[in-house]
Amino acid sequence: MLKFVLNDAATCVRSNVREFSLNALRLLPHLPQLSPYDVNLQLRENEFVYNFPVDGIVRSYETNQLGSNSPCEDSRTEASLLHRNGFICGIFDGHGGAACGQVVSKRLLRYVSAATLPRQVLREQMKQNCNSQSFLKCHNDNVDFVNEIKPIYEHSFQKYIKQLTQTPQRDVSSELVHAFLQLDEALSHEALATIDVRTMGVALSGAVACLVHLEGLQLHVASTGDCGAVLGVLDPQTNQWHPKKLNVEHNVDNMAEVKRILDEHPKEEHETAIRNGRLLSQLAPLRAFGDYRYKWSLDIMQKKVVPLIGEQAMAPNYYTPPYLTARPDVQQHELSINDKFLVIASDGLWDFLSPSEVVSLVGEHINSKKILEPMRLPEGNPTLQQISDQLAERKAGLTRKPIDQNAATHLIRHALGATDYGIEHSKISYYLSLPKDVVRLYRDDITITVIYFNTEHIAGLRDAQPPAPAA
């Protein structure tokens, strides 16, 4: 149980990963060199690709995960929305153990899918004895909650959707915020009502989240914590890729977030509420699910938690809780034909690569993959010269043939192995050979989902929109 409530010691000493890792790697004793085959096996172990069979706004997505913690504290979930044409996915980065991230990754999408459904449809589904899995179809989800816990979570969900049917429909952004907060509140209620070691473990560990909700042309990104989302935009005139950030991280680099927290507590606590770049000198993300040792009242901590866990459950200088919230910031974006893909990832990727670098790498990967597709002649009656030019272009493109067909793997390979002179195999081998008891000092868990948009479908939807009223 202790692992759920004590922050990972490795997290507390980790500094800027890009600089620290490169310097520290030089000081490591010699590690066995992995072969390219072994490197590929490890990098591709958790690859997944899903191509949508029905013509829609999302053409496909690719995802991958490379763990550092054991077990890996990152989780990810992707699903199609039922009863309408839509897509939803999320990445969840746990801390203080994997429990909270694993639970939230499965439950949050269910809450959001119900909340964004028209209320009349939701009421009709409730008449048919719907459950928490009635509103979405998950992809690549092969595990479920244990039988002892499943009824507890289902009861909370039924209570939530009953509440939804009794309230007016809100806009999508407001529904996302409400779903985040209601699920987080359920984690607290379940832990205090049952005093079960499992529900308490979920409430006392924590997780940050980045969730994507896509319906029609409307893309919403709800983020709490320090995961990241960036849109890949192609300039049709210059043929250059440009990044568009769709979230703001909640950490000490976000001065507005620091000010928000300090304003919520007495001036006497301004030296202790955030210290050494961490909330109460312990927690790096400034918003998160769970982590109720930073949210519960002093009375609850003393009566419910300390007898179960011990005094170490109390954070230092814990005077005026709550210090933490799961409330997300939500950004809305209407897709255009220039929006080609979206990348969401845990902070393990952003420790190594900037949003601009990520978009450039995925854009180059898209271009280089074109040579793997069957050759298609130009429409009409192409000349021999046009065919010759096309063949020459494909031949030249062979030098850019990607090592990985999965873009998420492509990003992980560059995160671990990129140098000024290209990908360095020995560098990746070092990162993958590090002993389990020290690897967390050099890199975090990395989880990535790359979502590809269907440009033709976007164009059709935009053409079908009514013209804007004259000013």
pLDDT digits (tens, 9 = 90+) for 52-68: 987 789 999 999 999 99
Position of tokens 């030019």?
A: 389
Residues 6+ apart with CB under 8 A from 307: none
How high does pLDDT run on average in the chain? 89
What's the pLDDT at 2? Answer: 32
Q: 70-234+246-340 has which CATH code?
A: 3.60.40.10
DSSP notation for 68-92: -SSS--EEEEEEEETTTTEEEEEEE
The CA distances from residue 341 to 6, 59, 226, in Å, are: 38, 10, 20
- Indicate the range of 90-99, 324-333, 410-419, 435-444 predicted with least confidence: 435-444
What's the pLDDT at 6? Answer: 32
pLDDT band at 468 (very low <50, low <70, confident <90, very high): low
More confident residue, 381 or 106: 106
What's the pLDDT at 387? Answer: 78
The yes-or-no verdict on residue 208 having pLDDT over 70 is yes
- Indicate the range of 4-8, 78-82, 155-159, 423-427 predicted with least confidence: 4-8
- What's the gap between Cα 178 and its chain centre? 19
The yes-or-no verdict on residue 191 having pLDDT over 70 is yes
For residue 388, the SS3 value is helix
pLDDT, mean of residues 18-22:
48
- Give per-residue pLDDT as tens, 352-388: 999 999 999 999 999 887 666 666 776 778 888 877 8
For residue 335, the SS3 value is coil
What's the pLDDT at 29? Answer: 56
Q: Shortest CA distance to 11 belongs to which of 428, 314, 351, 312?
A: 351
pLDDT, mean of residues 294-299:
97
* Separate counts of helices (H) and strands (E) for the chain: 18, 17
- For residue 379 the two structure tokens come to 């429409």
pLDDT, mean of residues 334-345:
98
- For residue 247 the two structure tokens come to 């979230």
Q: Shortest CA distance to 428 belongs to which of 121, 49, 34, 120?
A: 34
- Portion of the chain with pLDDT greater than 90, in percent: 75
Determine contact, residues 74/348, Cβ cutoff 8 Å: yes
